[in-house]
Amino acid sequence: MRQLIIIGSGPAGYTAAIYAARANLKPLVVASSVEAGGELMNTTEVENFPGFPEGVQGPDLMTKMQEQAERFGAEVVYDDVTALDLAGSVKRVTLGSGRVEEADALIFATGSAYRKIGIAGEERLSGRGVSWCATCDGFFFRERTIAVVGGGDSAMEEATFLTRFASKIYVIHRRDELRASKIMQERAFANDKIEFVWNSAVTDILGEDAVTGVQLTSTVDGSTRELELQGLFVAIGNDPRTHLVHDQLELTAEGTIWVDGRSSRTSVPGVFAAGDVIDPTYRQAVTAAASGTVAALDAEHFLAALDEAGTPAPDADQIEGLPVL
* Binding of residue 151 to ligand NAP (CB under 6 A): yes
In angstroms, what is the minimal distance from the CB of 186 to ligand NAP?
A: 13
Q: Which of 59, 73, 88, 237 binds ligand NAP (CB under 6 A)?
A: 237
* Residue 128 identity: R
* Binding of residue 158 to ligand NAP (CB under 6 A): no
Q: Which of 104, 153, 298, 300 binds ligand NAP (CB under 6 A)?
A: 153
Q: Which of 35, 101, 157, 300 binds ligand NAP (CB under 6 A)?
A: 157
* Binding of residue 55 to ligand NAP (CB under 6 A): no
Q: Which residue is nearest to ligand NAP (CB)?
A: 152
Tell me whether residue 153 is one of the annotated catalytic residues. Answer: no
* Binding of residue 175 to ligand NAP (CB under 6 A): yes
Q: Which of 144, 174, 187, 193 binds ligand NAP (CB under 6 A)?
A: 174
In angstroms, what is the minimal distance from the CB of 205 to ligand NAP?
A: 13
Q: Which of 150, 207, 240, 270 binds ligand NAP (CB under 6 A)?
A: 150
* Binding of residue 187 to ligand NAP (CB under 6 A): no
Choices 68-76, 91-99, 174-182, 185-193 (CB under 6 A): range interacting with ligand NAP: 174-182
CA dihedral 115, 126, 84, 33 (to 10 degrees): -120
Q: How many residues bind ligand NAP (CB under 6 A)?
A: 20
Tell me whether residue 298 is one of the annotated catalytic residues. Answer: no
Which of the residues 115 through 144 are near ligand NAP (CB under 6 A)? Answer: 115, 117
Candidates 79, 137, 276, 279; catalytic one: 137
In angstroms, what is the minimal distance from the CB of 103 to ligand NAP?
A: 30
In angstroms, what is the minimal distance from the CB of 195 to ligand NAP?
A: 17
Tell me whether residue 209 is one of the annotated catalytic residues. Answer: no
Candidates 136, 176, 307, 317; catalytic one: 136
Half-sphere exposure of 217 (CA within 13 A, CB side): 8
Q: CA geometry: angle at 292 spanning 287 and 295, to 5°?
A: 130
Task: Tell me which residues are annotated as active site.
Answer: 133, 136-137
Residues at the contact surface with ligand NAP, assessed by CB under 6 A: 48, 115, 117, 149-155, 157, 174-175, 179, 235-238, 283-284
